[in-house]
Chains A and B, each alone.
Chain A
Amino acid sequence: QVQVVESGGGVVQPGGSLTLSCEVSGYIFSDHGMHWVRQAPGKGLQWVAFIHRDGTTSNYADSVRGRFFISRDNSKNKLFLQLNSLRLDDTAVYYCVPNMDNWGQGALVTVFS
């Protein structure tokens, strides 16, 4: 059974930085592309970023490009999202979604002044 566990969420001031981590088990991590998706309070799902299974290719939503950076460590079955220059509207639950299949419980990021 696939398990997805996000961590690293928290409260940060505007302009600050945070790094989210995601650990996946029960899954051949290196075989699959990985996504980050976020959901602002009371809002819909927003795709944030993708990274290819070998880490060579990534892509970002326009709203985060240049501020967020996705990476992975296949030796540790881990995915990361570095969030920089955070804004109030980045407040959301961030989900790590392997192959856009399985979802964890998410990590809450609150940008608060």
Chain B
Amino acid sequence: SYDLTQPSSVSVSPGQTARITCSGDLLSSKYVRWFQQKPGQSPTLILYNDNERPSWIPERFSGSSSGTTVTLTISGAQVEDEADYYCYSAADNTLGIFGGGTKLTVL
């Protein structure tokens, strides 16, 4: 079975750059999606295909990929970005897997 590994927590001050990694062998050949989940809310898609951003997502959210690691970068993190972040990928496009999630603290 495949695994995606994320740090359990990341902490930055407002205005700093936050980086959240997602690692797994699957990622050498499959794209990643990133989801943001704020307390009490459903997840929302913030990036797809490693680094593409839906039009309504702020430009400070970006993604990059290198080998078996994909990175979500939040440039100039804001207090409102405080949330849980999950990476997702799919083997054979039918077998999905989520990373364990990263709690981002901005304070």
Contact = CB atoms under 8 A, between A and B. Distances in A.
B1 interface: yes
Contacts, number: 53
Contacts of A59: 92, 94-95
A62 B95 CA distance: 10
Nearest to A101: B45
Contact of A52 (B33, B84, B94, B98): B94
B44 interface: yes
Contacts of A105: 42
Contacts of A37: 96, 98
Contacts of A100: 33, 45, 88, 90, 96
A45 B96 CA distance: 11
Interface string A80-104: 0000000000000001000011111
B98 to A, nearest CB: 4
A29 interface: no
A102 B101 CA distance: 18
B100 A50 contact: no
B94 A50 contact: yes
A77 interface: no
Interface string B55-98: 00000000000000000000000000000101010101111111
A104 B43 contact: no
Contacts of B84: 44
B33 to A, nearest CB: 6
Nearest to B33: A100
21 contacts: A33-B94, A37-B98, A44-B84, A44-B86, A44-B99, A44-B101, A45-B35, A45-B37, A45-B98, A46-B98, A47-B96, A47-B98, A50-B96, A52-B94, A59-B92, A59-B95, A95-B42, A100-B45, A100-B88, A100-B90, A103-B44
Given A95-B42, A105-B42, 9 more contacts: A35-B96, A57-B94, A59-B95, A95-B43, A100-B90, A102-B45, A103-B44, A104-B42, A106-B42
